[in-house]
A and B are shown apart, each in its own frame.
Chain A
Amino acid sequence: MTHTHCPYCSLQCGMSLERTGRATLEVRAWPDFPVNEGALCRKGWTAAGLRGSRERLTSPLVRDRASGELRTASWDEALDLVAGRLLALRESHGPDSVAVFGGGGLTNEKAYQLGKLARVAVGTSQIDYNGRWCMSSAASAANQAFGIDRGLPFPLADVEQTDVLVLVGSNLAETMPPAARHLDRLRERGGHVVVVDPRRTATAERADTFLQPVPGTDLALALGLLHLVVALGGVDEEYVAARTTGFDAVRRAVAAWWPERVERVTGVPASELRALAGLLVGADKVTVLTARGAEQHAQGTDTVLAWVNLTLALGMPGRASAGYGCLTGQGNGQGGREHGQKADQLPGYRMIDDPAAREHVARVWGLPAASLPGAGRSAYELLDSLGTDGGARALLVFGSNIVVSAPNATHVTRRLEALDLLVVADLVLSETAAMADVVLPVTQWAEETGTMTNLEGRVVLRERAVAPPDGVWTDLEVMAGLASRLGSPVDFSADAEEVFAELGRASAGGRADYAGITYDRIREEHGVFWPCPSAEHPGTPRLFADSFATPDGRARCVAVEHRGPAEVVCADYPVHLTTGRVLAQYQSGAQTRRIRDLPDDGPFVELHPMLADRIGAHDGDLVVVTTRRGELKAPARVVSTIRPDTVFVPFHWVGANRLTHDALDPSSRMPEFKACAAAVRT
């Protein structure tokens, strides 16, 4: 029996794996792990379904020049081929002609090693990852406001003790079901759950108060709530004076957001705003959690800042069982953004343009700091530049299925086609791997060891339970193999625990300091919360009790304005389109769509009966959703739980992201996945 964690979302539920045959595994509950206490959703229960599956890749694949088809190849042949092409490109077009694309599902060790591979072995600045499309807006906002970006600055179970919990754009009852148990316990205690979502989701069904704004207007809603909090005299003036700066400008800015104006912008009746503001002002402890619904917008960072301002005005961050947090999405969304696969960062959440940070990391790597490249392009911009003048001509992909998950996907797919060389490491032949020139088969979670950092900032250990199939390498082995072939000046270990120790040294003194964390401590302590700078340090479950991570220790109130979605509905595209997840699938579905016990009904178009009547569609009829970028045909799902001016499409299948918009947030570079203008017809 091996204790490990679910391969999917950021909750990283603890689970036990039992070997029930030579190659088969059975998932069992692990009741002692505190985050989920033995609970799992069907994705977790069925996670072992890819073991022994014919869909698993067990040999490298190389695209045959003559036939254009993928054929099997030996590891040596595949890696030699990749290294040879990369070296030639670097020679002819410089190191930035090679780009690297990572993922928020990679372990900390892989994320760290991928950053090092890019900057040391390849020497390119062009590395980013799909986490840019996940939590980057919340990350950018938290860094501005608090000086540090840890999704939740407290253990998730703390929300049970708050008085009012506001979930903005989170459908956690479907995206991380075991987390919903905390909502129920909060309500049993007499607490109040508020859900803000354009759809009355399974999460909203568990709420006491439900607000249903137009997609892309959560920012205006927050401004309106703060306006009312000010009007009601609900600002904690002592706290604001002692622990924040910049609130005066925020107070002035919200003077212009009276409830009736907010009503017109958001579609939320002024009476509902007033009721919620009264609830917030009357509560001792308020917790606001945002998720992708609020964050995946071209004004996502400012939206989060507006909600942070609300909690700061109420005097909440740093108080027990109160404050602001972000519900991270991907399994290692948190750790994945801390250790150097982000275009502008080095390990330990250090900024790549900070000379001291470069010096420190270069010393750990045994290199001169000047040899490290500078900041590269953000995820979408990197992909958008592929095969263009000044863009990369080769791309290495680890842990991402770009063809399904990128916004404006038709365009991005064309950019991938324009590459000289596309290399994809994956466990199955994903839509992106199917386009590759070289596909490298890698281990899945039960076959490897490494750490993940969950949404609470708790570093947990994924332990190997079973040997990988013959012919499959770990990502670390692949990176080591490539690094040596590229003539890397330093060694790349393929041993996860060794890499973790190096990561600890590289992160030491940084904002996300892992220096004191070891595999043994994680095993003994059910995870360790960063920052944990030394072996003696107990880890940091709760941040901000005494001060914030800014130079003066005060939180920053940043005045923000609502600009609205980049694309406004009009006569030709009269409905809002928003996207999201369903319970039984995960992200691009590369794994979950291949698990037999999970239903794969394909994409659907959720719409309100009034809108269905308008276009003459009945439940189950094929309908066509079009935007300025693409078209999707899928069955209608007619439900009265969605705003009548909005349609919803889940993004686990090819199609949804052919529709979405590529407008980017100016600070986080997050694309506007969650709101664009669409038309729907039969």
Chain B
Amino acid sequence: MSAVGRVVVVGSGMAATRLVEELVARGAGADVVVLGDEPHAPYNRILLSAVLEGTHPASALTLREPRWYAEHGVDLRLGARVLGVDRERRDVMLVDGTVVPYDRLVLATGSIPSLPPIRGLVRLDGRLRERVHAFRSLDDCTRLMGALTSLGVPDPCGLVTNRTSGGREPAVCDQTARLKPARAVVVGGGLLGLQVARALSVRGLDTEIVEGGEHLLRSQVGSPAGQVLARDLRRLGTTVYTGARAVRLTDLPADTGTDTDTGGVGLRLDNGYTLETDLVVLTAGGRPSTALARGAGLEVRRGVVVDEHLACVTDPDVHALGDCAEHAGRTTGFVAPAWEQAALLAHHLTAPSTALTYTGSRTVARLRATGLDVAVLGDPERATADGGDVVEVTNPVVGSHRKLVVRDGVIVAATLVGDLSRIGLITQYFDHGTRLAGTEPGQLLMGDRTAPPSRLADDAEICACAGVSAGRIRACASLDEARDTTRATTGCGGCASAVRELLATRPALSGTT
């Protein structure tokens, strides 16, 4: 049971969904109302770029069906846009005039994509013009996929058809359907931009990236990593423009020389270049969605300001979590912290305790894009600036850059590009704050040494099942003798080839010819 009465959650994204799951697990489902402004059942936003790429089916995005909410007594309202919050009356009003009273209000409104200052992006009615796409919601993804279809881009390949008892046939991918590939420009070279660019490229589009900063992933990594990435992308056929800002979007004249007039657009950069393209996708970052909180008079800086119990500093009956929340001067934008906050908040809403506090999260940003290997642990640039010791290896020949930032033996941040072979260990050390010896960070970035093969010593064990050494095998004249006298090869049989080898290479006994 909720200890605090009726909990109204504004938002139905990944943070909100996890919060509701945690509340249901604690038996408080019947006290919860969820107001989601999207019309869809809560889904996994993380995987939208995989859907675009064709490596994840849109049908497998749903996290919880509406039926699940009903079964647990949760009042889920989809397509319910909140107009305002009245903290005096403790209720929220929806755009259709419905009033929903609350005892505790949770803002899980997420973030909204920032629109870069490009003239000509927006139509008179305030919506994005045709050929310009945002990429934040399932609707954005669906609209973009629709645009690809109307450009003649074939449906994604790579998904096998459903398994049947007779086996499967892989889908055939016909990239020749269109003579000249469609073109796309992705504005923004951050994590999302790279994922979307790779997805479009995998789908067969001629893709370019425009990044205003000096290198890719500039809010996560330093310039060497960004440069390795740009090189990888070029190798994969994607052109990268860094240090260039898009300033204006124009219609192309009908006679631009293309075979069929696709009615493309021109994206003008501040260096004077104009990129001709069929699509523009805006991935220039997002900002916390705080309009509701502002309207309600809650303290908002970059995000809705919350304390260590995830309560708004202005009103303890209002909470915020996930992308829209700001704790200790930071907003995150990742799922893992949002889920940690959800678990903690569910605890406070059902069994209030001042002891349990939120102290921030360790973030691991992982690029999900075919052909690009990137992981960013923590904030490597800030950790470097704060005086952490840096251990790094750059290998431009193979296209890798790896950097560990170490403080008092603990990996506090890391950048791994192009070589994720040790990520399964480095992430564990980072997450657990494991204190390493001085040599370890270096060892983590070097390959394993392999010992050269050498002649087996006589006391080396050859047959573990029977406990037989190489010397005892060498003393036998034949495989049969070895089997009968030592019982080598009579257990798991794994040593048979080694025994044969030893018998074949044993020194000839003196006196025999």
Q: By the criterion CB–CB under 8 Å, are B160 and A281 in contact?
A: yes
* Partner-binding segment picked from A234-242, A361-369, A453-461, A653-661: A234-242
Q: By the criterion CB–CB under 8 Å, are B368 and A230 in contact?
A: no
Give the distance in Å from the alpha carbon of A314 to the alpha carbon of B167 in the complex: 11
Q: By the criterion CB–CB under 8 Å, are B55 and A231 in contact?
A: yes
* Partner-binding segment picked from B27-35, B279-287, B295-303, B489-497: B489-497
Residues of A within 8 A of B487 (CB): 40, 42, 45
Give the distance in Å from the alpha carbon of A570 to the alpha carbon of B44 in the complex: 31
Q: By the criterion CB–CB under 8 Å, are B466 and A42 in contact?
A: yes
Residues of B within 8 A of A248 (CB): 65
B423 interface residue (CB < 8 Å to A): yes
Closest-by-CB residue of A relative to B424 is A267
Given known pairs A269-B420, A569-B432, A571-B435, the reply for A258 and B44 (CB within 8 Å) is yes
Closest-by-CB residue of B relative to A45 is B487
Q: By the criterion CB–CB under 8 Å, are A267 and B428 in contact?
A: yes
In whole Å, how far is B391's beta carbon from the nearest beta carbon of chain A? 14
From residue 562 to 585 of chain A, which have CB atoms closer than 8 A to chain B? Answer: 568-571, 574, 583-584
Closest-by-CB residue of A relative to B46 is A258
In whole Å, how far is A378's beta carbon from the nearest beta carbon of chain B? 24
In whole Å, how far is B20's beta carbon from the nearest beta carbon of chain A? 13
Q: By the criterion CB–CB under 8 Å, are B57 and A583 in contact?
A: no
Residues of B within 8 A of A202 (CB): 464, 492, 494
Give the distance in Å from the alpha carbon of A640 to the alpha carbon of B450 in the complex: 10
Contact with B along A20-62 (1 / 0, CB 8 A): 0000000001000000001111100100000000000000000
Q: By the criterion CB–CB under 8 Å, are A264 and B420 in contact?
A: no
Residues of B within 8 A of A234 (CB): 160, 163, 168
Q: By the criterion CB–CB under 8 Å, are A570 and B432 in contact?
A: yes
In whole Å, how far is B407's beta carbon from the nearest beta carbon of chain A? 14
From residue 56 to 70 of chain B, which have CB atoms closer than 8 A to chain A? Answer: 56-57, 60-65, 68
Q: By the criterion CB–CB under 8 Å, are B494 and A173 in contact?
A: yes
Q: By the criterion CB–CB under 8 Å, are A177 and B492 in contact?
A: yes
In whole Å, how far is B41's beta carbon from the nearest beta carbon of chain A? 10
B308 interface residue (CB < 8 Å to A): no
B509 interface residue (CB < 8 Å to A): no
A87 interface residue (CB < 8 Å to B): no
Q: By the criterion CB–CB under 8 Å, are A584 and B421 in contact?
A: no
B505 interface residue (CB < 8 Å to A): no
B440 interface residue (CB < 8 Å to A): yes
Q: By the criterion CB–CB under 8 Å, are A644 and B165 in contact?
A: no
Residues of B within 8 A of A206 (CB): 494
B176 interface residue (CB < 8 Å to A): no
In whole Å, how far is B426's beta carbon from the nearest beta carbon of chain A? 9
In whole Å, how far is A385's beta carbon from the nearest beta carbon of chain B? 29
* Partner-binding segment picked from A249-257, A293-301, A404-412, A586-594: A249-257
* Partner-binding segment picked from A178-186, A332-340, A626-634: A178-186
Q: By the criterion CB–CB under 8 Å, are B493 and A184 in contact?
A: yes
Residues of B within 8 A of A284 (CB): 167
Give the distance in Å from the alpha carbon of A267 to the alpha carbon of B68 in the complex: 32
From residue 407 to 450 of chain B, which have CB atoms closer than 8 A to chain A? Answer: 420-421, 423-425, 427-429, 431-437, 439-440, 443-444, 448
In whole Å, how far is B314's beta carbon from the nearest beta carbon of chain A? 32
Residues of A within 8 A of B491 (CB): 39-42, 177-178
Q: By the criterion CB–CB under 8 Å, are B490 and A40 in contact?
A: yes
Give the distance in Å from the alpha carbon of A248 to the alpha carbon of B67 in the complex: 11
Residues of B within 8 A of A249 (CB): 68
Give the distance in Å from the alpha carbon of A184 to the alpha carbon of B493 in the complex: 9
A232 interface residue (CB < 8 Å to B): yes
Q: By the criterion CB–CB under 8 Å, are B465 and A42 in contact?
A: yes
In whole Å, how far is A157's beta carbon from the nearest beta carbon of chain B? 14
Q: By the criterion CB–CB under 8 Å, are A613 and B439 in contact?
A: yes
Q: By the criterion CB–CB under 8 Å, are A263 and B464 in contact?
A: no
Q: By the criterion CB–CB under 8 Å, are A574 and B435 in contact?
A: yes
A113 interface residue (CB < 8 Å to B): no
Give the distance in Å from the alpha carbon of A181 to the alpha carbon of B425 in the complex: 33
Give the distance in Å from the alpha carbon of A40 to the alpha carbon of B463 in the complex: 12
Q: By the criterion CB–CB under 8 Å, are B163 and A281 in contact?
A: yes
Closest-by-CB residue of A relative to B434 is A574
Give the distance in Å from the alpha carbon of A255 to the alpha carbon of B43 in the complex: 8
Give the distance in Å from the alpha carbon of A267 to the alpha carbon of B65 in the complex: 30
Residues of A within 8 A of B62 (CB): 252, 255
Residues of B within 8 A of A193 (CB): none
In whole Å, how far is A408's beta carbon from the nearest beta carbon of chain B? 23
Give the distance in Å from the alpha carbon of A457 to the alpha carbon of B67 in the complex: 41
B269 interface residue (CB < 8 Å to A): no
B364 interface residue (CB < 8 Å to A): yes
Given known pairs A214-B428, A233-B159, A281-B160, the reply for A614 and B440 (CB within 8 Å) is yes
Closest 4 CB pairs of A and B: A177-B492, A267-B424, A180-B492, A260-B366
